[in-house]
């Protein structure tokens, strides 16, 4: 997180706000609810209290405007800049302006959820600058969030509490603030690993890292920033070179994406790959480019699916350790790279020759995902 510096914060914990006008995109009740809820995001974790006023000058004046709207920071039409807000101080300080040329929504994932944009802007109104943590609310790029299930990420909690301290009033225990996974965490267990048109993708919680061989630094981003309709916390993933698609598995469903686009008729049941109905989830998936086979790891067994013939191979499931010597623990992710098969189990990665099933090395995540 970062703050504006110079101890730029409100000198009181009791702040007022006023909604000066409304967007026609939503009902007034929805706007009121979104704004109130966005302020409460910050009030829950600090001693700050917000009171709405209906006339006069509030600490935080909230308005919708387009293009030139009177503050020498004109908006830019649809998309691009969605809103801006001013750091704490008198006058325009603390005020939040929303670009009326955007399509704001209450909780749909088409358009921009006003709650998410407002919660971010109010972070500025209270003294937070942009964070470089891609999971933080104060990261400068919009990402979808549901107002009813949103939990302020740990980075933002730390940021706002560095200015105002924590909430001294006991609050009912709820879900804890999500943290952003760290590639340097040697105990991290990846959810899934896959390739995408020459890049490697490493999935963890609601994030993924993209890493290309040409780059020394992997780029961490939200899964939703790449595929807005993809699930978080996936179980398995692979790229089919046969169909140029990436498949993501979660529970009994599978999503297929070509580039950024969800394919028609997806998500589907995992039984569409010929897996029996008794299989409720896939632990890991591996695409073998030579034979164009897909291996699905389920518990101590694995299935083999022929991506050319689109049928499950006979003689499966087999025990994993029948083919991959010594692999008796659960496979949590899998990848094929330069002719070697890499099976992840917990924080370790096992390098195998698929042909002989021989184990060459036991490595850590950072072999492919640099810290």
Partner 1 sequence: MPLSQDNMEEEQFAESYLKKFYNLTEETGPLLRGGVSPKTKKLMEMQKFFQLQITGTLDADTLDLMKRPRCGVPDVDIAQ
Active site members: 121
Rank residues 25 and 235 by Cβ distance to partner 1 and give the closer one: 25
130 sits near partner 1 (criterion: CB under 8 A): yes
| Rounded Cα distance, 293 and 87, in Å | 56
200 sits near partner 1 (criterion: CB under 8 A): no
Q: And the tokens for 94?
A: 């603390």
126 sits near partner 1 (criterion: CB under 8 A): no
282 sits near partner 1 (criterion: CB under 8 A): no
187-210 burial code (b ≥16 CB/10 A, e <16): ebebbbbbbbeebbbbbbbbbbbe
Among 31, 39, 82, 200, indicate the residue that binds partner 1 (CB under 8 A): 82
Closest CA to 169 of 362, 13, 366: 13
Task: State the sign of the Cα–Cα–Cα–Cα dihedral 69, 72, 76, 79.
Answer: negative
Q: And the tokens for 93?
A: 């300080």
Interaction pattern, residues 6-45, with partner 1; x per rule: CB under 8 A: --x-------------------------------------
**Beta pairing partners, 65:** 99
Which helix (H) or strand (E) segment holds residue 32: the answer is helix 28-43
| Rounded Cα distance, 287 and 194, in Å | 9
- For partner 1, the binding residues in 131-160 under the rule CB under 8 A are 132, 134, 140-142
Q: Smallest distance, Å, CB 371 to partner 1?
A: 13
Q: Smallest distance, Å, CB 315 to partner 1?
A: 44
Rank residues 94 and 267 by Cβ distance to partner 1 and give the closer one: 94
| Rounded Cα distance, 290 and 323, in Å | 17
Stretch that binds partner 1, among 18-26, 66-74, 172-180, 266-274 (CB under 8 A): 66-74
Rank residues 62 and 85 by Cβ distance to partner 1 and give the closer one: 85
| Rounded Cα distance, 366 and 201, in Å | 13
Rank residues 215 and 229 by Cβ distance to partner 1 and give the closer one: 215
Among 70, 80, 166, 299, indicate the residue that binds partner 1 (CB under 8 A): 80
Q: Please answer whether residues 151 and 178 qualify as being in contact, where contact means their C-beta atoms are separated by less than 8 angstroms.
A: yes
Among 51, 109, 215, 311, indicate the residue that binds partner 1 (CB under 8 A): 215
| Rounded Cα distance, 278 and 269, in Å | 12
Q: Smallest distance, Å, CB 44 to partner 1?
A: 21
Which own/partner pairs from 289-296 qualify as long-range (CB within 8 Å, at least 24 positions apart)?
A: 289/241, 289/336, 292/241, 292/242, 294/238, 294/240, 295/334, 296/236
Rank residues 86 and 296 by Cβ distance to partner 1 and give the closer one: 86
Rank residues 1 and 86 by Cβ distance to partner 1 and give the closer one: 86
Maximum Cα–Cα distance for the chain, whole Å? 78
| Rounded Cα distance, 172 and 186, in Å | 33
71 sits near partner 1 (criterion: CB under 8 A): yes
Task: Give the dihedral of Cα atoms 161, 167, 171, 176; nearest 10 deg.
Answer: 10
Among 68, 79, 244, 322, indicate the residue that binds partner 1 (CB under 8 A): 79
- For partner 1, the binding residues in 83-102 under the rule CB under 8 A are 83-89, 91-94
Would you tell me which residues interact with partner 1 (CB under 8 A)?
A: 4, 8, 71-73, 79-89, 91-94, 112, 117, 120-121, 124, 129-130, 132, 134, 140-142, 214-217, 219-220, 225
């Amino acid at each position: 997180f970062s703050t504006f510096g110079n101890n730029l914060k409100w000198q009181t914990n009791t702040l007022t706000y006023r909604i000066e006008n409304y967007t026609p995109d939503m009902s007034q009740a929805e706007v009121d609810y979104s704004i109130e809820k966005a302020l409460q995001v910050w009030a829950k974790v600090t001693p700050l209290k917000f009171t709405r006023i209906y006339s006069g000058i509030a600490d935080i004046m909230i308005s919708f405007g387009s293009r030139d709207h009177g503050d020498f920071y004109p908006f830019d039409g649809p998309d691009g800049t969605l809103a801006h807000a001013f750091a704490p101080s008198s006058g325009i300080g603390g005020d939040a302006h929303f670009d009326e040329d955007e399509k704001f929504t209450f909780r749909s994932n088409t358009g921009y959820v006003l709650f998410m944009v407002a919660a971010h802007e109010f972070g500025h109104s209270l003294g937070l600058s942009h964070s470089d943590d891609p999971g933080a609310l104060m990261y400068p790029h919009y990402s979808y969030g549901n107002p009813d299930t949103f939990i302020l990420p740990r980075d933002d909690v730390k940021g706002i509490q560095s200015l105002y301290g924590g909430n001294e009033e006991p609050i009912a225990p709820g879900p804890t603030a999500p943290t952003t996974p760290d590639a340097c965490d040697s105990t991290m267990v990846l959810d899934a690993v896959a390739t995408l048109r020459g890049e490697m993708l490493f999935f963890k919680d609601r994030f993924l890292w993209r890493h290309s061989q040409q780059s020394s630094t992997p780029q961490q981003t939200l899964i939703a920033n790449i595929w807005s309709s993809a699930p978080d916390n996936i179980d398995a993933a692979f790229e089919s070179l046969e169909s140029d698609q990436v498949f993501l598995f979660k529970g009994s469903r599978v999503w297929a994406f070509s580039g950024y686009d969800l394919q028609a008729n997806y998500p589907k049941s995992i039984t569409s790959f010929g897996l029996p109905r008794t299989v409720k989830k896939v632990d890991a998936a591996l695409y073998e480019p030579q034979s164009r086979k897909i291996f699905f790891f389920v518990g101590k067994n694995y299935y083999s699916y022929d991506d050319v013939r689109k049928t499950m191979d006979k003689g499966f499931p087999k025990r994993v350790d029948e083919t991959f010597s010594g692999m008796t623990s659960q496979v949590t992710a899998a990848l094929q790279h330069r002719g070697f098969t890499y099976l992840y189990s917990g924080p370790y990665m096992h390098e195998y020759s698929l042909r002989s099933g021989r184990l060459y090395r036991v490595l850590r995540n950072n072999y492919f995902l640099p810290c």
